[in-house]
Amino acid sequence: MVVVLKDVRKTYSMGKVRFDALKGVDLQIKRGDFAAVAGPSGSGKTTMMNIIGLVDTPSQGTVLVDGKETAGLSRDELTRMRQEVIGFIFQSFNLLPVLSVFENIELPLLLGKKGSRSAALSRAGRKERVERLLEAVGLADKRFNRPAELSGGQQQRVAIARALVNEPAIVIADEPTANLDSENGTRILDLMKRANAEYGATFIFSTHDKTIWEMATRVIFLHDGKIDHEAARA
Ligand SMILES: Nc1ncnc2c1ncn2[C@@H]1O[C@H](COP(=O)(O)OP(=O)(O)OP(=O)(O)O)[C@@H](O)[C@H]1O
Ligand SMILES: [Mg+2]
């Protein structure tokens, strides 16, 4: 299993007010899964993705990522996992405004520690990798632009290219196609499917789009902070 959640709970506290966003989630994701997470707005999708992506911690319960119990990891180990094992596509892109499109995509390759796969790439190797992704997301002509000069859908495509550039074992994508038209949505799904088939990347992505559910190997339905049911697919 690449991801295991055991009775994961998350309570947000806002002053004296508490809100239970996850109320005991049990989930096992195996290598190569192409898993969709569905559910109404506020059901806890983003909260769950943030916990799996190691950008947030649960209030209770156990989270294993890549076979490691995350509560036991040091800050350095967590950083290494976020840089080298996980690709994260946020609902709110999180691109760096001062960097160009090309630089935003290249960034994860520059963050790899000595000895990591990305640190082994030459400058030319990095350029080739970034250019291949720029082509794949249809943004070769925007490579020198800054994120603020792009449309929402274009920024989203940059975020997707950035998440895939390291060829991470696990890709977590929070509504990766929410702001895209059907042509670009299909393009992104194809790119994700290709990474899934070519190097066995595991995908966990939230989506409201029923046509994308058809492409998933599993669809996990969240409701009110719990897994309501799951549909297995072809
Ligand atoms: N930082 C926070 N502080 C307090 N409450 C929060 C916080 N983040 C999320 N929540 C609450 O937790 C619940 C789950 O939010 P979450 O963002 O996980 O939902 P979601 O399923 O991703 O919704 P959407 O489809 O709208 O993106 C919501 O009721 C939300 O208001
Ligand atoms: Mg959300």
- Both tokens of residue 229? 């049911």
pLDDT confidence band for 137 (50 / 70 / 90): very high
Which of 19, 55, 179, 220 to probe ligand 1 with, by most ligand atoms within 8 A of CB? 19
Note whether residue 19 is domain-resident.
Answer: no
Question: How many structural domains comprise the chain?
Answer: 1
The pLDDT of residue 136: 92
Q: For 96-116, what is the mean pLDDT?
A: 91
Q: Which tens digit of pLDDT belongs to each residue from 67-93? A: 999 998 999 999 999 988 999 988 788
Is 148 a pocket residue for ligand 1 (Cβ < 6 Å)?
Answer: no
Q: Whose CA is nearest to atom 12 of ligand 1?
A: 21
Question: What average pLDDT is seen over the chain?
Answer: 93
Is 42 a pocket residue for ligand 1 (Cβ < 6 Å)?
Answer: yes
Residue 233 has pLDDT above 80, yes or no: no
Note whether residue 62 is domain-resident.
Answer: no
- Give the number of other CB atoms < 10 A from CB of residue 47: 19
Is 13 a pocket residue for ligand 1 (Cβ < 6 Å)?
Answer: no
Note whether residue 66 is domain-resident.
Answer: no
Q: Mind spelling out the 3-state secondary structure of 97-165?
A: CCCCHHHHHHHHHHHCCCCCCHHHCCHHHHHHHHHHHHHHCCCHHHCCCCHHHCCHHHHHHHHHHHHHC
What's the rounded Cα separation, in Å, for the pair 63 and 177? 27
pTM: 0.92
Note whether residue 107 is domain-resident.
Answer: yes
| Nearest bound ligand to the CA of residue 42 | 1
Is 12 a pocket residue for ligand 1 (Cβ < 6 Å)?
Answer: yes
Residue 145 has pLDDT above 70, yes or no: yes
The boundaries of the domain holding residue 131 are 34-54+74-232
Which residues does residue 60 pair with via DSSP β-bridges, in sequence order? 9
Note whether residue 61 is domain-resident.
Answer: no
Is 14 a pocket residue for ligand 1 (Cβ < 6 Å)?
Answer: yes
Is 19 a pocket residue for ligand 1 (Cβ < 6 Å)?
Answer: yes
The pLDDT of residue 234: 61
Note whether residue 22 is domain-resident.
Answer: no
Percent of the residues in the chain that have a pLDDT greater than 70, as a whole number: 100
Note whether residue 172 is domain-resident.
Answer: yes
Distance 136 CA to ligand 2 centre (A): 26
CATH number of the structural domain spanning residue 136: 3.40.50.300
Q: Which tens digit of pLDDT belongs to each residue from 168-197? A: 999 999 999 988 888 888 888 988 999 999
